[in-house]
Amino acid sequence: STTNARPKPARTPTEPVDALSDKATTAFVRRVLCAHHVPSDDKGRRPALDELLPPLTSSNDVDLQLYAIIAVIIKDFVYAWYAKITPDHAFVDSVLQIIAHCTRALEQRVRNVDLEALLLDELPALLEQHFDAHRLAHRCSHADALAPDPRHIYHTLHPHPALDPVPASPDQLLAQQEHEAAWRQLLVQGVLAVLLPTEDLDNACLRALVGEIVAEMIIGGAVGSKMAEPWFLWEAVEKVAEALQQRKEKGEEELDKEKATSRLEQFGLLSARSEKQQPEAWRSWVFWSAGFWSVCQILFVAFSILRSVVLAGLAAPGLGGRGEWASQPVPVVSMRAWTLAGVVLEMDGRMPWTAGMLGLAQWAVMRGPGRVGDTNGPLDKLLSHHLRARLLDPAHLPPALRALRASLFPNNAPGAPRPPPPTKTEAAATRARAAKALLAALPPVVRRLVFGRGRLGGWDVGTAASNGGGADAEAMQADVEALLDVFGDAYLNKHLVFGIVELVVARLMPEL
């Protein structure tokens, strides 16, 4: 007798594993940091990560992303030499305990920081200083053939001990790198002295190792070497612009679906037949009917806006005062985040009347009748409440850490630091892609209003815009590329990045 052979199941194609997914991230952390733990208990239950590792923060989602970053650093910086000495994991566990103590202490300090002022006032002020100093340095250097290099002018305007002297020769470059390394060590050792308890601070070996990891791999390798590169900043702008473009396209698609059937057809006032097939009297009636419904819609929208403003004004006094989070709160309306957009786009030169009108409106809100925009005024409380509820929502932190990990450690490995584009053509292509994505993310009206007129660096955009659509698009592209050129020098970008690091440390640890 013959037996029927069992058919082999068809092989299903394996889907590529996303290294950033929670499942892959958890497996990676277990493999690196929990390999010496027992895989399961007596009942066969696999313990969770929070049972094996010390908590870093009060959120498990944030801890997962932070432990993924720590696992990359431990795997490539500690295990590379420690595993050759001994397989014992006690030393690594001690390092994790120190890091966990630092992160928990930082979380407590973050709760006492005025994040609104830090993110919307102080950090935008640093960006404004960078833009103004960069443009002034290049303008002065190009105006006179005997003028010093733009780097010297910028460093004179905003000196930093870690970036002195200006690397104009190999000897000066070596001296500047030594100063930068010394600055990193001083900064990290000061932070550890504030955060660590006495018993951990007395352990010179662990303190030196943790300080070396933070100073060299995080601040030196990731922040100073990678995040200050022009290509990194341009690619970040491109990714943000593409995300905004996708969101805008998704909203337009939903709006088109909603408008597929007109209001008149929904209520039976207009048949699905073409308007051209209807008599003249019918088309006239449809025209006046559509106009009537449009007026009703405009009145309804105006009433809704007025109602929202009145309700918001009535609810504002019941919101908590900003003195609970800051000793001397800055009014939200007067924060530098609102003027940063004008500085980036050079609104004073492009559209001075617009900048003047916005400044007058700001003054009226701050000093006008009722002072509704002053500190703890109705408008100030309302804006502060919505900023804390949306912008400062802790739920945004895990995705932000995931995106940061994808940029700094792709595929859960640091890899070799990517050098800047070797040729000017490749650098221009990277900047052009970012400019194109940024233009595509803007509404057409805003794009033509801002970039369709004015001058930038001697380029008369208004003249180019009048020559035709192609010339207008090329002029806009060149205009945005010139704006993005403020990130074109890694040495100048380090002034900005190091300034941000020092500002954050000063707000978290004012005793330093």
pLDDT in tens, 227-274: 888 888 898 899 888 888 887 777 666 655 555 445 545 555 555 444
pLDDT in tens, 124-140: 999 999 999 999 999 88
pLDDT confidence tier of residue 486, bands split at 50, 70 and 90: very high
Please say if the pLDDT value at position 182 is more than 90.
yes
- Residue 319: CB atoms within 10 A of its CB come to 17
pLDDT in tens, 293-330: 888 888 888 887 777 667 666 666 666 666 555 567 78
pLDDT confidence tier of residue 173, bands split at 50, 70 and 90: very high
* Mean pLDDT computed over 44-49: 74
% of the chain surpassing 70 pLDDT: 77
Please give the structure tokens belonging to residue 19.
Answer: 């290294």
- How do strand 455-456 and strand 459-460 relate by DSSP bridges? antiparallel
* Mean pLDDT computed over 159-181: 93
Q: Any idea which of 85-99, 141-155, 189-203, 336-350 has the lowest mean pLDDT?
A: 85-99
Mean pLDDT of the chain: 79
The three-class DSSP label of residue 418 is coil
Q: Which amino acid is at 313?
A: G
Please say if the pLDDT value at position 181 is more than 80.
yes
User: Would you kindly state where each structural domain of the chain is located, as residue ranges?
Assistant: 22-112, 115-223
Query: pLDDT at position 15, please?
Result: 46
Q: Which residues are within 8 A (CB) of 376 and not within 5 positions of it... i.e. 6 or more apart?
A: 321, 322, 323, 329
Please give the structure tokens belonging to residue 430.
Answer: 């990277």
Residue 461 CA: distances (Å) to CA of 48, 143, 419, 454: 60, 21, 34, 6
Sign of CA dihedral 63, 66, 71, 74: negative
Which residues pair with residue 456 across a beta bridge? 459
**Distance (Å, whole) CA 338 – CA 359:** 10
Sign of CA dihedral 279, 281, 282, 288: positive
pLDDT in tens, 335-389: 898 888 888 888 888 788 888 888 888 888 888 887 877 877 777 777 887 788 8
Query: pLDDT at position 272, please?
Result: 47
Query: pLDDT at position 390, please?
Result: 81
Please say if the pLDDT value at position 500 is more than 70.
yes
Query: pLDDT at position 253, please?
Result: 66
Please give the structure tokens belonging to residue 191.
Answer: 């932070």
Highest mean pLDDT among 52-66, 371-385, 395-409, 413-427: 52-66
- Report field, pTM of the whole predicted structure over 0.85: no
